[in-house]
Amino acid sequence: MNLQAGTFIRSTSALNSTYFEDTTIYISEHNVQGAMGFVISRAFNHALNELVEFKDSIPFPLYEGGPVDQEHIFFLHMRPDLIEQGNRIGNGIYLGGDFNQVLECLNDGTLGPDHIKLFVGYCGWNKDELEAEITEGSWEIIEGNNSDIFRSYIN
């Protein structure tokens, strides 16, 4: 099983009628402690400027990244030249960084949805948990590329 950071997984019918029904997840971290990823295929029901603390921001789309820690915004991006302190995942994708720089770049138009995706929450698995779920048939590893992360989704 070639599961690593930068892998895409898609739920199977085994997860129908669960939170993860019809989801595609980008794995942003995979190590001996477990895995972390983001549902890239589910829009959040509010834009960034609809959250009280960001009411002065532009109406930038948010995505529901997963059921864990939905009190925080996480982000994937392709612009380390604009956003410092991000963690390189691979293939030009970075996790996190200076969120003040993100807000500034979003508001002045130097950063758009083709290069950054904001998530409320994330998905997390303990050591070997995701591998077990893949083996039992709940997830399948699929081909994907950077444009799949940043493309817009309706569901």
Question: Which CATH number is 50's domain given?
Answer: 3.40.1740.10
Number of domains in the chain: 1
The token pair that represents 73 in the structure block: 């915004």
Answer yes or no: is 155 within a domain. Answer: no
3 domain-assigned: no
pTM value is: 0.93
Q: Is the pLDDT of residue 82 over 70?
A: yes
- Please write the tens of the pLDDT for every residue from 46-70: 999 999 999 999 999 999 999 999 9
Query: For the segment 108-152, what is each residue's pLDDT rounded down to a tens digit?
Result: 999 999 999 999 999 999 999 999 999 999 999 998 888 889 876
Q: Which domain holds residue 129?
A: 8-150
Strands of the chain, DSSP E: 8-11, 24-31, 34-39, 43-47, 61-64, 68-77, 87-90, 93-95, 116-126, 139-142
Percent of the chain at pLDDT exceeding 90: 88
